[in-house]
Structure 1
Amino acid sequence: MRDFIYAEMMVHVPVCTSKEAEDILIISDNAEKLSAEAARHSEANLKVINCSLNEISALDNKSYDVIISEMPSDEIFFSQVNRVLKDDGQFVTTHPSLDDVESNKKLMIILAKYFKIIMPYNIGDSSTVLFCSKEYHPTADINLQRADMIDGLNYYNSDIHYAAFAMGNYIRKEYLGFIKN
């Protein structure tokens, strides 16, 4: 897969769903491309950290609009993400393949403690990540002007945004009650 597709989808989907994404946290051990994409949103204050629970636990409560994580996670990590995410914030995280149903259902049960909306979305190569939101729905609350006015993108646009959330019936049936939309 082209790296720019992954980076654009990881960043612009949650940022363009947020009402005003001013504070973005990227949790990654290789965040260069994600940071570059987040920097396209000139109104955003960007913070990049490596995945260390100590670093996350030192962050202020309710200080981020969007958190993007590429790091393996557990319930303690998600509780810290919830603590630093604003009340209307979005969180995007990597997860096991949707074919690993049991692992994903366990993960979604944990995430459901903190988020009203949990939806997988395609990031361009039939891989998915999880979009989690406390308030905004990724297809109902997309900021169309923001999504289509970002300069220099190679892949992402508002049509791709909507299409990324389309899932086949076998996934809908398998995850009925776990995907919260």
Structure 2
Amino acid sequence: MKDFIYNEMMVHVPLCTHKEPNNVLIISSNSAGFVQEIQKYKYDDINCDVISADINLLREVADDKYDVVISELDTDAAVLAHFNRVLNEEGLLVTLHPSLDDVAENKKIMQILGKYAKIIMPYNLGNGKTALLASKEYHPTADIILQRSDLLDGLEYYNCDIHPAAFATGNNIRKEYLGIIKN
């Protein structure tokens, strides 16, 4: 997989969905690509904090601080509760999850996220894998900030057309996750 596609989709989908992503937390053991993508927001005042993909470090993060969390941390109920704790009232999370073919595990994760977020949607990362977007306020296809996405320079994959298309799912996924995916 081309790393630039993954990095662009993990960063620009949430940052072009949230109305004012001023405080961003990246949770990754290999965050350089994400940080490089965030630096492309030269017209926005974005504060970016980075921690390694370690739940012990997440436990130390302040409550209600972040607008956006981008995570490569393995998700379970405890981790998801911490995500909710560190996100503010309009917060948005993007996290990796098991393949959509692992229906039982994904339903479990999505049901837990459903306690914290109004919107839970998987989206295509451009390599056949998906991430989960969970948002307390903003819808990733209805609330895309087109002007912000159009002002970004140096993108190789992401654009304002790719953004909503990444959320398209086949009928088999829609049927399997009916009532679980919240859009």
Same fold (TM over 0.5): yes
* Per-residue deviation, 1:56: 1.9
Consecutive unaligned residues of structure 1, counting only runs of 5 or more, are: none
Q: Distance in 2 between matches of 1:132 and 1:152?
A: 27
Q: TM-score, normalised by structure 1?
A: 0.97
1:179 aligns with: 181
* Per-residue deviation, 1:180: 0.3
* Per-residue deviation, 1:15: 0.5
Deviations 1:124-147 (Å, cap 9, x if unpaired)? 011110000000000000100001
2:30 aligns with: 30
2:48 aligns with: 46
* Per-residue deviation, 1:71: 1.3
RMSD: 0.9
2:103 aligns with: 101
Q: TM-score, normalised by structure 2?
A: 0.96
1:140 aligns with: 142
Consecutive unaligned residues of structure 2, counting only runs of 5 or more, are: none
Q: Indicate yes or no: 2:79 matched with 1:77.
A: yes
* Per-residue deviation, 1:51: 2.4
Asked if structure 2 preserves the Cα contact closer than 8 Å seen for 1:24 and 1:64, the reply is yes
2:18 aligns with: 18
Number of equivalenced pairs: 181
* Per-residue deviation, 1:52: 2.7
Percent pairwise identity:
57
User: SS at the partner of 1:17?
Assistant: coil
Which structure 1 residue ranges, 4+ long, deviate > 6 Å from structure 2? none
* Per-residue deviation, 1:117: 0.4
